Chain A
Amino acid sequence: MDMTGEYTIPAPREKIWEALNDAEVLKASVPGCETLEKVSDTEFRATVMSKVGPVRAKFNGRVTLSDIDPPNGYTISGEGQGGAAGFAKGGAKVSLTSENGGTVLRYEANASVGGKMAQIGSRVVEGVAKKTADDFFATFVEQVAPSGETAEKAAAAPAEAPVEAAPAAESGIPTWAWAVGLLVIVGIGLVVFS
């Protein structure tokens, strides 16, 4: 399965950056996220409880980052284990660019699911993953740019100030990177229940 996505967030990159560094914001934005844990500079673990209809399963996700080029992009690969529900694994190239005063996040992901997830959900995996991603951004944007701060306003805002390209050196991996990776994994994982 291949999927691509693009989200325009009506806020300058530094503001997004702050939010993406706020674990509480992220946890609130990833549907069902219970824990976020940094294992190393390039690896994170998360536990996400997913529930669709009558079925619940806890996914343990592991996300590894490479080709980190802050704040422009990176490559992510990950795997989520859902017990008897099967597994999901995949990779994505993710980029962030400033456009019209907002920030555009794009990803190109490929993913595969296995076991019961593939058996039951292959046909709808893309739709559900996409919807999950949309849900994440809806929540996230609401927190970064609450209603009233419209896209137009954001677009009319002054061009963003140059962003320091230092975070990777200073604080390890940018949080946005693995947050997006996690969301890709969770999106895939949710498919099993549809």
Chain B
Amino acid sequence: MAENGIGARSLRKEDARFLRGSGNYVDDINRPGQAYATFVRSPHAHARIEKIDTSRAAEASGVVGVFTGDDLAADGVGGLICGWMVTDRNGENMKAPPHPALAQGKVNYVGDHVAIVIANTLAEARDAAELVEVDYGVLPANVDTDKADADGTPQIHDDIPGNMSYDWELGDAAAVDEAIESAAHVTTLEIVNNRLIPNAIEPRSAIGEYDPASDAFTLYTTSQNPHVARLVLSAFCAIAPEHKLRVVAPDVGGGFGSKIFIYAEETVCTWASKKVGCPVKWTADRSESFVSDAHGRDHVTKAELALDSDGKFTALRVSTKASMGAYLSTFASCVPTYLYGTLLAGQYTTPAIYCNVKALFTNTAPVDAYRGAGRPEATYLLERLVEVAARETGTDPAELRKKNFIPPDAFPYTTPVVLAYDSGSYEAVLDKACDIADYRGFAERREEANTRGKLRGIGFSSYIEACGIAPSAAVGSLGAGVGLWEGAQVRFNPTGSVTVFTGSHAHGQGHETTFAQVVADKLGVDFENVEVVHGDTDKGPFGMGTYGSRSIAVGGSAIISACDKLIEKGKKIAAHALEASESDIEYDGGTFSVAGTDRSMSMGEIAFAAYVPHNYPEGLEPGFEESAFYDPVNFTFPAGTQICEVEVDPDTGEVEIIKFSAVDDVGTVINPMIVEGQVHGGVTQGIGQALLENGVYDGDTGQLVSGSYNDYTMPRADDVPTYDVEMYETPCPHNPLGVKGCGEVGAIAAPPAVINAITDALSTEDIDMPATPERVWQALAQA
């Protein structure tokens, strides 16, 4: 292993600026002459806009512009879109209501955008926003996911009866019905997957700027995928043609999915910058983030798992209601369908699976992908079911899982829900996790805890996820409006350093380090001499961005493809210089040599020769840079087992996580330190969902009542233990690095591990996330 090559615990290049406070985030950027925007937002969950009077605001001190939905419509600015068409079980397209960037005639959730007020200072903009008079005709609100399609529930969109976007299904219903009817045992569970609010540490921010000289716009924005933002703003919102719109997403402080989407604020700021003739800057405050970032999860599900008399799973039937919020966000429709239903086989050989999902509109903030996106919902459901089935049948939960695992020799394995798993070592991973967790010693620890009056429990989660999103043809056949390949360009500079442009985007993942490790390893150049550039549509090739744990698997593979092209070209240059046949040139770790001789050239010499082509192959282009686009042939399938051990105080209901053990198979590991960091972060978010976080709207008024850190509880250091994280590497067989992706595993795996541990401690299955002390105490009182 090279010093900073693949597998090295290289320290993160980006930390030098982040830890010194010299990162460059959107809010750090100030453009000459910029004005400041504030948005007038609906205080009501559901209301007609009877009248908007902006005249007093427009006359207020420092105000340079006040605009409403009518102004956007007059300029032909298109609404926000959903980029994935789901076809429902009747063959009809999903129903996607108009989603104007500023409301037209009606507001549909608290925080919905009503007007933008732009002024010379932020204070003036905020003061003037107070003067925008809006008369609302308040309508009854619909915020309960489970009741959103019930008779009498207020209908949000005129043409969408029952608030149903689509009624989708996957799998063989008849086979499942039959298997459940003839099963030796059926485990049934009704669960809620709680709504989460992303809370990236950096709030969303945008600066729109119009340059009359070039008749072009620049948008600085907190985006995980600046090229996709440019595409949508150009093709659908009609802000400007793509070649007249540059999108820059500089340092971005966390996204977790919430910064994939194209939002109203960046759309309006960009459009308005031309209207008011100066750059327009907006940065969310924390309260705005709570109400206006796309939320995650929010499922209500009933599921049945059938077992035969040997404990083999014979069928799974799932019925889910998924809240979409008030509108369909950019990728909302694929989350509870192709990122959820397709994962319901888990690591198991269950032969028959049927899943029905009703996607419903509610008067709440739009719901879209949030770390894991669909896969945490599938894993939570399945892993709780398996644990309950083990308890009901008196089987050890580890043994029940092993009995049903897909064996290592069964790959590639096609599940009854579409996916073709490429590789996996499920039993070996589980055994390793049991060792780390000292599963055998648990009974003794439980007894000891009893002597102290504490209830101890242990819970498993053997998860799988589909990452490395995604083969373009496959997702296209399922309704995606885009291809999900990735672009890269690797450019040698004449003196031998390398600049790598990637379409992936880093917002905490450490790509500047891991991608540099990959390139250093592949091209034999110094890690320090590799610079990774991303986040600017004016630099490098088009890219699809970062989400779905796709960056190393797809973006990294694109970089490898570009490196391969450079090596091929290098062989031609070396063959000429070394007076050998190209077929005799061997390449290894940055050195081109003539087979069987000691004649060789270094990569640096080759690059120099390409830029100073005095002695150069005839007909070969000078220069040493290559672009590549990589479209994966399959998803990747990270999998693992995480085990949580808790102690519950029966007097207070407080849950303490004593030990959390994770063995994750994310394929080849580029940088173990960064992978462990990703697992730590994901597990912490998963524990947050399991114990603390809950996005709650008041059932009567539709107000978001957990909209600050008073009520929405983020996990803190003292809520989590020191994790025991280990890897088990089964390389992915279909991408050049053997990588699978690691960004989401913790958030996917942890919630059921935690809840299974708690239900084990309490001896009741009747508890939903978040398992707050109050809920735990009540569950104990009712058990």
Q: Which chain A positions have C-beta within 8 A of B707? A: 118-120
B287 touching A120, Cβ below 8 Å: yes
Q: Which 5 A-B pairs have the closest CB atoms?
A: A115-B43, A119-B707, A118-B703, A83-B130, A122-B705
Alpha-carbon separation in the docked complex, A91 to B43 (Å) = 19
Q: Which chain B positions have C-beta within 8 A of A120? A: 287, 707-708, 710
Alpha-carbon separation in the docked complex, A105 to B3 (Å) = 80
Mask: chain A, 84-124; 1 = CB below 8 Å from B; 0 = not? 10110000000000000000000000001111101110111
Q: Which chain B positions have C-beta within 8 A of A115? A: 41-44, 110, 703
Q: With A84-B126, A84-B129, A114-B44 as given contacts, are A119 and B291 in contact (CB-CB < 8 Å)?
A: yes
A87, A119, A123, most chain B CB atoms within 10 A = A119
Contact size class for A? 10 to 19
A87, A112, A114, A123, most chain B CB atoms within 10 A = A114
Contact of B701 among A83, A84, A114, A116 (CB under 8 A): A114
Q: Which chain A positions have C-beta within 8 A of B621? A: none
- Interface status of B268 (Cβ within 8 A of chain A): no
Q: Which chain A positions have C-beta within 8 A of B290? A: 119
- Interface status of B178 (Cβ within 8 A of chain A): no
Q: Which chain A positions have C-beta within 8 A of B181? A: none
A89 to chain B, nearest CB (A): 10
Q: With A84-B130, A114-B43 as given contacts, are A119 and B700 in contact (CB-CB < 8 Å)?
A: no
Mask: chain B, 679-709; 1 = CB below 8 Å from A; 0 = not? 0000000000000000000101101110110
Alpha-carbon separation in the docked complex, A129 to B417 (Å) = 54
Q: Which chain A positions have C-beta within 8 A of B92? A: none
A-B contact pairs, 12 of them (CB 8 A): A84-B126, A114-B44, A114-B110, A115-B43, A116-B287, A118-B704, A119-B703, A119-B704, A120-B287, A120-B708, A120-B710, A122-B703
A123 touching B130, Cβ below 8 Å: no
A74 to chain B, nearest CB (A): 25
Alpha-carbon separation in the docked complex, A116 to B42 (Å) = 10
Mask: chain B, 239-261; 1 = CB below 8 Å from A; 0 = not? 00000000000000000000000
A118 touching B287, Cβ below 8 Å: no
B110, B126, B290, most chain A CB atoms within 10 A = B110
- Interface status of B711 (Cβ within 8 A of chain A): yes
A112 touching B126, Cβ below 8 Å: no
Seen from chain A, the residues whose Cβ lies within 8 Å of a Cβ on chain B are 83-84, 86-87, 112-116, 118-120, 122-124
Q: With A84-B126, A122-B711, A123-B711 as given contacts, are A112 and B43 in contact (CB-CB < 8 Å)?
A: no
B693 to chain A, nearest CB (A): 15
Q: Which chain A positions have C-beta within 8 A of B126? A: 84
A188 to chain B, nearest CB (A): 13
Q: Which chain A positions have C-beta within 8 A of B711? A: 122-123
B286 to chain A, nearest CB (A): 10
Q: Which chain A positions have C-beta within 8 A of B42? A: 115
7 extra interface residue pairs, beta carbon distance < 8 Å, beyond A84-B40, A112-B700, A122-B705: A87-B43, A112-B703, A114-B110, A114-B701, A119-B291, A123-B710, A123-B711
Contact of A86 among B40, B43, B698, B700 (CB under 8 A): B43
Contact size class for B? 20 to 34
B130 touching A118, Cβ below 8 Å: no
* Residue ID in chain B nearest A113 by CB atoms: B703
B701 touching A118, Cβ below 8 Å: yes
Majority DSSP secondary structure for residues of A touching B: helix
Mask: chain B, 22-54; 1 = CB below 8 Å from A; 0 = not? 000000000000000000111110000000000
Mask: chain B, 453-468; 1 = CB below 8 Å from A; 0 = not? 0000000000000000
Alpha-carbon separation in the docked complex, A188 to B110 (Å) = 19
Contact of B287 among A83, A113, A119, A124 (CB under 8 A): A119
Q: Which chain A positions have C-beta within 8 A of B698? A: 112, 118, 122
* Residue ID in chain B nearest A118 by CB atoms: B703
* Residue ID in chain A nearest B130 by CB atoms: A83
Alpha-carbon separation in the docked complex, A120 to B290 (Å) = 10
Q: Which chain B positions have C-beta within 8 A of A118? A: 110, 698, 701, 703-705, 707
A115, A123, A124, most chain B CB atoms within 10 A = A115
Mask: chain B, 124-163; 1 = CB below 8 Å from A; 0 = not? 0010011000000000000000000000000000000000
Mask: chain B, 714-738; 1 = CB below 8 Å from A; 0 = not? 0000000000000000000000000
Q: Which chain B positions have C-beta within 8 A of A86? A: 43
* Residue ID in chain B nearest A119 by CB atoms: B707
A112, A120, A123, most chain B CB atoms within 10 A = A120
Alpha-carbon separation in the docked complex, A113 to B707 (Å) = 13
A46 to chain B, nearest CB (A): 18
Alpha-carbon separation in the docked complex, A172 to B181 (Å) = 74
A129 to chain B, nearest CB (A): 16
B124 to chain A, nearest CB (A): 14
B360 to chain A, nearest CB (A): 23
Q: Which chain A positions have C-beta within 8 A of B710? A: 120, 123-124
Alpha-carbon separation in the docked complex, A113 to B700 (Å) = 11
A169 to chain B, nearest CB (A): 35
Q: Which chain A positions have C-beta within 8 A of B287? A: 116, 119-120
Q: Which chain A positions have C-beta within 8 A of B44? A: 114-115
Q: Which chain A positions have C-beta within 8 A of B129? A: 83-84
Mask: chain B, 275-300; 1 = CB below 8 Å from A; 0 = not? 00000000000010011000000000
* Residue ID in chain A nearest B700 by CB atoms: A112
Q: With A87-B43, A112-B700 as given contacts, are A123 and B705 in contact (CB-CB < 8 Å)?
A: yes
* Residue ID in chain A nearest B291 by CB atoms: A119
B541 to chain A, nearest CB (A): 42
Alpha-carbon separation in the docked complex, A22 to B636 (Å) = 77
Alpha-carbon separation in the docked complex, A93 to B607 (Å) = 86
Alpha-carbon separation in the docked complex, A113 to B702 (Å) = 11
Q: Which chain B positions have C-beta within 8 A of A83? A: 129-130
* Residue ID in chain B nearest A123 by CB atoms: B711
Alpha-carbon separation in the docked complex, A124 to B129 (Å) = 27
B191 to chain A, nearest CB (A): 26
* Residue ID in chain B nearest A58 by CB atoms: B130
Alpha-carbon separation in the docked complex, A114 to B44 (Å) = 7
A149 to chain B, nearest CB (A): 41
* Residue ID in chain A nearest B40 by CB atoms: A84
Alpha-carbon separation in the docked complex, A115 to B707 (Å) = 10
* Residue ID in chain A nearest B710 by CB atoms: A123
B142 to chain A, nearest CB (A): 16
A114 to chain B, nearest CB (A): 4
A93 to chain B, nearest CB (A): 19
B223 to chain A, nearest CB (A): 25
B283 to chain A, nearest CB (A): 16
Alpha-carbon separation in the docked complex, A86 to B698 (Å) = 15
B701 touching A119, Cβ below 8 Å: no
Alpha-carbon separation in the docked complex, A150 to B287 (Å) = 47
Q: With A112-B700, A114-B110 as given contacts, are A119 and B130 in contact (CB-CB < 8 Å)?
A: no
* Residue ID in chain A nearest B704 by CB atoms: A119
Alpha-carbon separation in the docked complex, A112 to B42 (Å) = 16
* Residue ID in chain B nearest A116 by CB atoms: B287
B334 to chain A, nearest CB (A): 29
Q: Which chain B positions have C-beta within 8 A of A84? A: 40, 126, 129-130
Alpha-carbon separation in the docked complex, A120 to B635 (Å) = 42
Q: Which chain A positions have C-beta within 8 A of B701? A: 112, 114, 118
Q: Which chain B positions have C-beta within 8 A of A114? A: 43-44, 110, 701, 703
A17 to chain B, nearest CB (A): 36
Alpha-carbon separation in the docked complex, A119 to B291 (Å) = 8
B132 to chain A, nearest CB (A): 9
A8 to chain B, nearest CB (A): 33
